[in-house]
A = this chain, B = another copy of it.
Amino acid sequence: MVLAHIILGFLALAPMTGYDLKRHFDSTVGHFWSADRAQIYRALATLVADGHAEVETVAGSGAPDRQEHRVTDAGRAALAAWLAAEPERHVDRDPFLARVFFGADLAPDALLALLARRRAEAQTRLADYERLRAESDTGTRAARLRLATLDNGIAHLRAELTWLDAVTEEFA
Bound-complex Cα distance A159 to B102 (A): 25
Least Cβ distance of A145 to chain B in Å?
Answer: 5
- A98 engages B142 (CB within 8 Å): no
A127 located at the interface, meaning its Cβ lies under 8 Å from any Cβ of chain B in the complex: no
Point out which of A80, A87, A145 has the most chain B C-beta atoms below 10 A from its C-beta. A145
Kindly identify, within residues 91 to 107 of chain A, every residue whose CB is under 8 Å from any CB belonging to chain B. 91-107
- Cross-chain contact of A90 among B95, B140, B142, B146 (Cβ < 8 A): B95
- A95 engages B87 (CB within 8 Å): yes
- A160 engages B156 (CB within 8 Å): yes
Chain B residues, CB < 8 A from A38: none
- Cross-chain contact of A94 among B9, B33, B79, B171 (Cβ < 8 A): B33
Chain B residues, CB < 8 A from A149: 97, 100-101
Bound-complex Cα distance A91 to B153 (A): 12
Bound-complex Cα distance A31 to B31 (A): 20
Which of A49-57, A59-67, A162-170 lies on the face that meets chain B?
Answer: A162-170
Q: Do A80 and B93 contact each other (CB < 8 Å), given the known contacts A98-B2, A160-B155, A163-B155?
A: no
Extra pairs beyond A29-B98, A32-B97 (10, CB < 8 Å): A2-B98, A12-B102, A33-B94, A80-B105, A83-B103, A83-B105, A87-B114, A102-B145, A156-B156, A159-B159
Chain A contacts to B: CB under 8 angstroms: 2, 5-6, 9, 12, 29, 31-34, 79-80, 83-84, 87-88, 90-107, 110-111, 114, 117-118, 140-142, 144-146, 148-149, 151-152, 155-156, 158-160, 162-163, 166-167, 170-171
- The 7 A-B residue pairs with the shortest CB-CB distance, nearest first, are A104-B142, A159-B159, A32-B97, A9-B102, A34-B91, A155-B163, A155-B159
